[in-house]
Amino acid sequence: MNASSEPTPASSLRGWVVTFAGTGINLALGVLYTWSLFKGAIEQQFGWKGEQLNDPYALCCLVFAFTMILAGRCQDRWGPRVTATLGGLLVGAGMVLISTTQSYPLWLLGFGLLVGAGIGFGYASATPPALKWFPPQRTGLVAGLVVSGFGLAPVYLAPLSQYLLGRFGLQQSMLILGLGFVVMVCGLAQLLKNPPAAVAPTAGAAPNPTAAAQQGTPPREMLRQGRFWWLWIIYCIGAGAGLMVIGSVSGMARKSMGDWAFLAVAVLAIGNAGGRILAGALSDRLGRKQTLLLVLGLQALLMFTAIPITGSPGVPGLLVVLLAALIGANYGANLALFPSFTKDLWGLKHFGMNYGLLFTAWGVGGLLLPRLQQTLTAQSGGSYTSSFVTAGLLLLLGAALTWRLPSSRAGS
């Protein structure tokens, strides 16, 4: 296919198969976002307190992010099928391990290290092959669709986990989920495939592509560019602020919704997934920078709005659910925008490792800010006010830093 030609029906169909296989893999890997449900059962059954309750989740976020570098390299070299299969096996091994023990160190090993690494390998292999089947004008939309699976996972995992926890208990539930994830991820991994060179759309299909986007910027050269580090800081803020809320939304909702708090987790997930698709498609038309500015500004506003909602007794559960959905949508937008930035600025040749390096910002934000939230909440007697103020101010800083980024639209 030359730069100006359109995809054939057969290649387009294959591209959508790869896209939705990646979405399905992420639907399994999104177990990370249900931690707030497991946390209550862990506290009740194991007696863990304070920061211990967030440590496996925070470590999983960090390992997931830094594994993306190795996984991206593996994806670039050996392809998505092998990489995703390895991810499914690692996630399953970690879940099986934690199903056998109440040991805090072993939960750090099982959920924090093994599940985190498995998510990294699976996630790293889902987006790159899908992007390679489509022209740059669809980069944001396709990236948003693939990563929407990760955000959408709690829609089925929240009620499923609630049922399993009530019927089988915490550890047996981990075993059932782990075995299911192995089958789901490893099976869908076999559908992932990069397009042949004769079929893949080229960067030349985009208006005014940069030389880097055409040829592919090596990771070492990318790391020397100031715009990489600006993006890294902004990603750390945007992701970390969202994860502060996601990791504790069940506890927040329980004050007004009781046993129905899992609905807030599920609705947040719908917002999370929808925000990824909407922001990705919007950025194809409006531009990445402009869309990111909008997202960060709205997320800051929502954090400040959350203070009276979560701090007042007797607040209607519907209002809490609506707030969770909007925060989830703005958080999810980051996960579509930053891979699109990566492709636009540095091309697809080294996309796996380049995005893996940028994605470490998500891990650092996921480690530091949820842990900070847990500390602030404990110090304030269970109030989330100081956490929301901190997150809102950081998001405003991220919006200010975004002005320094180059404008980017569909590879331009």
Query: What are the residue boundaries of the structural domains of the chain, listed by start?
Result: 9-195+206-402
- pTM given for the model: 0.81
- Residue 204, pLDDT > 60, answer no
Check: CB of residue 90 under 8 Å from CB of residue 117.
Answer: yes
Helix (H, G, I), strand (E, B) or coil at 345: helix
Backbone torsion region of residue 235, taken as left when φ is above 0, otherwise alpha when ψ lies between -120 and 50, otherwise beta: alpha
Class in CATH terms, 9-195+206-402: mainly alpha
Task: Place 206 in a pLDDT band, splitting at 50, 70 and 90.
Answer: very low
Task: Place 12 in a pLDDT band, splitting at 50, 70 and 90.
Answer: confident
Report the range of poorest mean pLDDT among 76-85, 103-112, 257-266.
Answer: 257-266
Tens-digit pLDDT profile for residues 154-197: 788 878 888 999 899 999 999 999 999 999 999 999 999 988 86
Q: How far apart are CA 143 and CA 402, in angstroms?
A: 20
Q: What residues have CB less than 8 Å from 330, skipping those under 6 apart?
A: 242, 275, 295, 296, 298, 299, 302
pLDDT at 211: 47
| Helix boundaries (H) for 79-192 | 80-98, 104-107, 116-132, 139-168, 170-189
Q: How far is CA 143 from the centre of its chain?
A: 12
Helix (H, G, I), strand (E, B) or coil at 72: helix
Task: Place 61 in a pLDDT band, splitting at 50, 70 and 90.
Answer: confident
Q: Residue 313: phi, psi to the nearest 5?
A: -70, 150
Task: Place 315 in a pLDDT band, splitting at 50, 70 and 90.
Answer: low
pLDDT at 291: 95
Mean pLDDT of the chain: 84
Structure tokens at 19: 């896209």
